[in-house]
Amino acid sequence: MRYGETKRILVTGGAGFLGSHLCDRLILQGHEVLCVDNLFTGSRRNIAHLLGHGRFEFMRHDVTFPLHVEVDEIYNLACPASPVHYQFDPVQTAKTSVIGAINMLGLAKRLKVKVFQASTSEVYGDPEVHPQPETYWGRVNPIGHRSCYDEGKRCAETLFFDYHRQHGLAIKVARIFNTYGPRMHPNDGRVVSNFVLQALLDEDITLYGDGSQTRAFCYVDDLIEGVLRLMATGLEVTGPVNLGNPGEFSIRQLAELVIELTGSRSRIVFQPLPPDDPRQRRPEIDRAKALLDWEPTVPLRDGLVRTIDYFDRFLGETAPA
């Protein structure tokens, strides 16, 4: 396959939130996309608009089982991402991260193709270094409720770097920070989808803890642009590269902003903080800026307006007649 030609690209987790946006961009670029997903948290709804497309193919498959296909590039995104979903079956979450990574690396090794890994800011755990640079090794509880995900993703990174060192594989590892936007799962319990749905329904906004914990929220289009730029880099770039928006907000500020933008009558109610909930998180993105000439462009307010619009339409479409 020569550079610039149309490629056949595998996206695992392609029916999920981030994966479906990635499929959209790759199709727009003229590529063929093979979307592999077991539909655990993803849905046909996310890819409904692509299903009839001549260059798009969907395969229902669990990445913990071997996959024998022929492709020119692999993006490995398969893994539930929200705490509610990844804690539903923690053993399966760890298997998806670790065995899924081994299978995608084995596939990439046989085909001699580039492979991208969707890693996460959770590899930093509850950090004592702030903001988090890629050189920070993290502070992760190995036996807690979040460990199936955090340690699974850490082990996947290890496997990517060992396949790179041992087998010369071309790897691209991105550490993705909290990302939001249209097609987030409505019941995944993540803060943006929860607050937006609660506000639109005039229900209580559930603030865990005192709301002083912070997160930095990246709009999905910015994130996907960073992912594509990382994949397009030369062999010398392996990552890990942080991808996220460095604008840091307390969860209380987020709640107040969502109430303002929806004009909701919702009240804020306080609920207990889940175990191992990180106190603060913000990416340092100097490496992404230098290597990819990338930084987020969508302010939280604008991204929230687009997300609110999506969930408003979603509620309209799914409301009982």
* Among ligand NAD, ligand UDP, none, residue 98 binds (CB under 5-8 Å by kind): none
**Is 228 an interacting residue with respect to ligand NAD (CB under 6 A)?**
no
**Residue 149 annotated as catalytic:** yes
Residue 136, phi then psi, degrees to nearest 5: -75, 130
**Is 242 an interacting residue with respect to ligand UDP (CB under 6 A)?**
no
* Among ligand UDP, ligand NAD, none, residue 39 binds (CB under 5-8 Å by kind): ligand NAD
* Among ligand UDP, ligand NAD, none, residue 102 binds (CB under 5-8 Å by kind): ligand UDP
Kindly list the distances between the CA atom of residue 303 and the CA atoms of 70, 288, 297, in Å, as whole numbers in the listed order.
37, 21, 10
Q: In sequence order, what DSSP letters do the residues of 229-284 get, joined into one string?
A: HHHTS-TT----EEES---EEEHHHHHHHHHHHHT----EEEEPPPTT--S---B-
The residue whose Cβ lies closest to ligand UDP is: 106
* Among ligand NAD, ligand UDP, none, residue 17 binds (CB under 5-8 Å by kind): ligand NAD
Q: Is 102 helix (H, G, I), strand (E, B) or coil?
A: helix
Residues 218/179, Cβ–Cβ less than 8 Å: yes
* Cα distance between residue 291 and residue 269, in whole Å: 43
Strand partners of residue 176: 120, 243
**Is 118 an interacting residue with respect to ligand NAD (CB under 6 A)?**
yes
Window 198-217: contact mask with ligand UDP (x via CB under 6 A): --------xxx----x-x--
| Residue 121: CB minimum distance to ligand UDP, A | 7
**Is 81 an interacting residue with respect to ligand NAD (CB under 6 A)?**
yes
**Is 245 an interacting residue with respect to ligand NAD (CB under 6 A)?**
no
Q: Which is nearer to ligand NAD, 24 or 266 (CB)?
A: 24
**Is 296 an interacting residue with respect to ligand NAD (CB under 6 A)?**
no
Identity of the residue numbered 297:
T
Kindly list the distances between the CA atom of residue 223 and the CA atoms of 81, 174, 242, in Å, as whole numbers in the listed order.
15, 10, 10
**Is 84 an interacting residue with respect to ligand NAD (CB under 6 A)?**
no
**Is 15 an interacting residue with respect to ligand NAD (CB under 6 A)?**
yes
For residue 15, what is the DSSP state?
T
* Cα distance between residue 97 and residue 82, in whole Å: 14
Q: Which is nearer to ligand NAD, 218 or 308 (CB)?
A: 218
Q: Is 311 helix (H, G, I), strand (E, B) or coil?
A: helix
**Is 194 an interacting residue with respect to ligand NAD (CB under 6 A)?**
no
Could you give the dihedral angle defined by the CA atoms of residues 181, 187, 193 and 194, in that order, rounded to the nearest 10 degrees?
Answer: 180
Q: Which is nearer to ligand UDP, 27 or 81 (CB)?
A: 81
Helix (H) or strand (E) holding 34: strand 32-37
Q: Which is nearer to ligand UDP, 138 or 274 (CB)?
A: 274
Crossing angle (nearest 10°) for helices 191-200 and 251-262: 30
Site residues (vs ligand NAD, CB under 6 A): 12-13, 15-19, 37-42, 62-64, 77-81, 85, 96, 100, 118, 120, 176, 178-179, 185
Site residues (vs ligand UDP, CB under 6 A): 66-68, 82-83, 102-103, 106-107, 109-110, 178, 189-191, 194, 206-208, 213, 215, 251, 273-274, 277
Catalytic residues: 149
